[in-house]
Amino acid sequence: MLTLFKNATIYSPHFLGKKDVLVGGKTILAIADHIEPPSGVETKLLDCTGLWLVPGLIDSHVHITGGGGEGGPASRMPELQISMMTEAGVTTVVGCLGTDGITRSVESVLMKVKSIRANGMSAWMYTGAYQVPPPTITGDIMRDITLIDEVIGVGEIAISDHRSSVPTIAELSKLTGHARVAGMIGGKAGIINMHMGDARDPFRPLHDIVANSEMGYKQFIPTHCNRNEYIFEDAKEYGKKGYVDITTSSYPYYADEEIKPSVALKLLLESGVPIGHITFTSDACGSLPGFDPETGKLVKIEMGLPDSILREIKEAVLEDAVPLEIALQVATSNPADILRLTGKGYIKENFDADILILDTEFNIRYLMANGKMVK
């Protein structure tokens, strides 16, 4: 059966105007001002007059098997459910481990990726965890990236954080180089997802790697770049050279510490950071811990959800005057391009039919993933 979306206002994420979109199988077959239902083929018609048709969102930093654990066994977070994705307008996730690379395994992340794919959504993953050397599936990050389809890079590796393994610049440089070469061989992004902590001058390790090796800034995606005022100030300059990832789910839990994601997007753009360098991710199913600065003890813990991305895109548009076609890029075309997720992130002919239909108040009316209606 074909699906024909009629009279939709399309953001691809770039504005295309009012058009029809024809979907067959898992693919966008045609986009045109007017498309007639093909004769002799069963076609489902959806009237999208007054609605926006945009790419399904990509959440490229999710603890799909659950995260947490900093406060002991009771602080372990649950794994991602498909319903969390559909309720958020998310059709693609990238999974990772976090603090706990000991009792949670990279193998379990791989099987969760396979489970998400078997349920009709799209998923990839990072090998590794906070620790250096990182845990792997095959015993080597290069083999993981090169040989395992679902693995696109390494992460999240913790730096500038009291929970990191305090890796040296030499160790980080070697890890980065191996990821890069494996990406080249395997046709992957081969990127390093970096967990950024609360230490002062948090980007220093990345600057040192670039200064003392042949690696470039775009070999990294530093995440949590809005976690406090001073990392965000540094991110305004770092983002002109490399990528910056804004965590959406920790707001409003830490409103007194963090830069609100929608505001962060506006400020980064005003600072001259190219829109293609900015991504939003939820950090969903990972813990959002708070530590006493004097004792280092855990004093609070929360868990984020994928729906925080759409919320912050909405508020960037409605409250912070960021144009919709700009705001959408942080969770559609940007992660697709940066992570080399083929067929994702755009409303284009011959791309995967990951389609999110919104009303002008950002309520989800329909969601299609790989050509199938899931909401």
Q: Judge contact between 156 and 96, C-beta under 8 A.
A: yes
What's CA 346's distance to the chain center, in Å?
Answer: 15
Domain residue extents for the chain: 2-54+345-373, 57-338
30's tokens: 């045609």
Residues 6+ apart with CB under 8 A from 169: 205, 208, 209, 212
Phi, psi torsion values for 207, nearest 5 degrees: -60, -40
Phi, psi torsion values for 15, nearest 5 degrees: -65, 125
pLDDT on residue 74: 82
Closest CA to 368 of 1, 81, 91, 19: 91
CA dihedral 313, 263, 93, 334 (to 10 degrees): 90
Distance CA 193, CA 158 (A): 9
pLDDT in tens, 213-267: 999 999 999 999 999 999 999 999 999 999 999 999 988 878 888 999 999 999 9
Closest CA to 58 of 241, 240, 189: 189
pLDDT on residue 298: 67
CA dihedral 90, 261, 192, 207 (to 10 degrees): 170
Q: What is the DSSP letter of 329?
A: G
Identity at 334, one-letter amino acid code: N
CATH number, domain 2-54+345-373: 2.30.40.10
Catalytic residue check, 283 = yes
3-state secondary structure of 35: coil
CA dihedral 267, 272, 273, 276 (to 10 degrees): 110
8's tokens: 């939709």
Q: Judge contact between 248 and 305, C-beta under 8 A.
A: no
**Domain 2-54+345-373 shares a fold with domain 57-338:** no
Q: Judge contact between 246 and 282, C-beta under 8 A.
A: no
Angle made by CA atoms 237, 334, 274, in degrees to the nearest 5? 30
Distance CA 230, CA 145 (A): 34
Given 283, 307, 320, 352, the catalytic residue: 283
Domain 57-338 belongs in CATH node 3.30.70.260: no
3-state secondary structure of 248: coil
Which residues of the chain fall short of a pLDDT of 50?
none
333 burial (CB, 10 Å; 0-12 / 13-18 / 19+) is buried
Q: How crowded is residue 196: how many other Cβ atoms within 10 Å of its Cβ?
A: 28
3-state secondary structure of 225: coil
pLDDT on residue 345: 98
3-state secondary structure of 7: strand
